[in-house]
Structure 1
């Protein structure tokens, strides 16, 4: 089972938000980081998850954005996420589903509520031939 990487855009901010204030994307990144720390201390459920912040993932009109990716699996790119602790917990839960899935496919009805909508992209693994089920 390959590790799933959670990538959070650290520069995301809603349209019209002041550049003088910290970016909502950074707040979401920090919330996911804090939630992973709690998982590590309480349950160890963070195993197999990696977190990375990235300045700009070009989802500016759909802030905040998060990507889930792993070697040999479908990648998911989500937008329109709230920069709060509940979203962070649901991102981690979804990342665990991604990690446990053989091909990375995440059926809509199995994803946490805040990650059922707002999909910006679902990308196939590099080298995938043929059609995959949805």
Structure 2
């Protein structure tokens, strides 16, 4: 099975973020929480600078080769958010297609889905 990646935007700032008041962006805080929660799980975590979803910050992408991929946003940088993100990614990793039945979604990710992307084709056009 391909690795499911949680890609966390570490430059995300929520609307209430105050420059100078916080040493880290909201995205950096969420990334650290997700990294800690994902230790020992069947998923990997990486940080990127900007997923271009500023109006939806904090943003993450759940991705794996050959599977449906998802962008989720509007998270607060809290342990509950990190738990839901990682729990959903573990379900994504266990799914053959990346599709996870709604009834099994963690409550903390419901309402946070922004986009769904089909898997890329295996072949290049002729």
TM-score normalised by the chain length of structure 2: 0.88
Render the CA deviation track for 1:35-72: whole Å, top value 9, x for unaligned: 123xx2xxxxx13x110001110111111111100010
RMSD (Å) for aligned C-alpha atoms: 1.4
Give the deviation of 1:106 after TM superposition. Answer: 2.3
Distance in 2, matches of 1:125 and 1:90, equals 23
Is 1:9 aligned with 2:9?
Answer: yes
* 70, 74, 78: which one aligns with 1:76: 70
Alignment of 1:51-90 (within 5 A): 51-90=45-84
Unaligned runs of at least 5 residues, structure 1: 41-45, 129-134
Check conservation: 2:84, 2:106, Cα contact below 8 A. Answer: yes
TM-score normalised by the chain length of structure 1: 0.83
Alignment of 1:80-119 (within 5 A): 80-119=74-113
Check conservation: 2:17, 2:26, Cα contact below 8 A. Answer: no
Give the deviation of 1:16 after TM superposition. Answer: 4.9
Distance in 2, matches of 1:119 and 1:36, equals 20
Unaligned runs of at least 5 residues, structure 2: none
